[in-house]
Amino acid sequence: MRHAPPAILTHNVSVAFDGKPAVSGISASFPDCAINAIVGPSGCGKSSFLSALNRLNESVPGCKVDGNIELFGAALGRFAPNREELRRTVAMIFQRPVPFPLSIRRNMEIPITEHYGRNRQETAGRCEAALKSVGLWGEVENRLDMPATQLSGGQQQRLCLARALALEPRILLLDEPTSALDPMAAGLIEELLRELKSQMSLVLVTHNLAQARRLADTVTFFWMKDGHGYVAESGPADTLFNTPREDVSRAYFAGHIG
């Protein structure tokens, strides 16, 4: 039996801003149907690397990405023929929930109609299914026309998750998705991520080590050297948490540094 290619395979990826590298030489492999945690101190380029995976930083002036990225065994350009398709299949959730200042319904409908065309019934169906999948349907079913910004922080983040899931992504990038939320709301999101990993590959940037321990199947540990980030160690979560090879990983996971 042939081994299925990983959901994400990067080779020697670097991201630079105005010629100054933020991360460099990142070679990583993230399997499908798993939660892949990226941990490390802030400023070591985790967000920059994550944004390179769906080319979100190509619109940042002065930002340049080098190296190879393969998704499900195909070069990025072949995996998704255009940027819209890439963003649909490789979704991104940010640290602060970003509901658009519109109704809950419009927040869901705008991306759905953008990608699947204007079809009332299909749109309503996708909207309902996605809201159900994040456990928000029961809470907002009767007030879909309420401004999305009136939801609580946790609800807003679940709305953003639903908005992305409605587009049926195969990879979900999450940049510290719970760090702006209270523990209860964060717990709900964590539960959702655990459910989602049966359907897609998740890449979760977090500097909450306890969260990584609870959720991660693989861990990639970023550290700083010569003013830019690099991967100090990566592998199955068990190995990194219990028997890390590198001194710096041992110190970091023991809580001595970072």
Ligand X SMILES: Nc1ncnc2c1ncn2[C@@H]1O[C@H](COP(=O)(O)OP(=O)(O)O)[C@@H](O)[C@H]1O
Residues that bind ligand X (CB under 6 A): 17, 22, 42-48, 60
As measured in angstroms, the least distance from the Cβ of 249 to Mg ion is: 20
| Contacts of residue 215, Cβ cutoff 8 Å, sequence gap at least 6 | 35, 37, 190, 193, 194, 204
Q: Which does 17 bind (CB under 5 to 8 A by kind): Mg ion, ligand X, other proteins, none?
A: ligand X
| Contacts of residue 132, Cβ cutoff 8 Å, sequence gap at least 6 | none
As measured in angstroms, the least distance from the Cβ of 135 to other proteins is: 21
Q: How far apart are CA 83 and CA 228, in angstroms?
A: 28
172-206 burial code (b ≥16 CB/10 A, e <16):
bbbbbbbebbeeebbebbbebbeebbeebbbbbbb
Q: Which does 12 bind (CB under 5 to 8 A by kind): other proteins, Mg ion, ligand X, none?
A: none
17 makes contact with other proteins (CB under 8 A): no
What φ, ψ does residue 146 adopt, rounded to 5°? -75, 150
Binding track, positions 108-147, relative to other proteins; x by CB under 8 A = --xx--xx-------------------------------x
Q: Which does 45 bind (CB under 5 to 8 A by kind): other proteins, Mg ion, ligand X, none?
A: ligand X
- Inter-residue contact 159 to 104 (CB < 8 Å): yes
* Residue linked to tokens 């897609």: 200
Binding site for other proteins (CB under 8 A): 54, 56, 59, 61, 83-88, 91-92, 94, 96, 98, 100-103, 106, 110-111, 114-115, 147, 149-150, 160, 163-164, 167
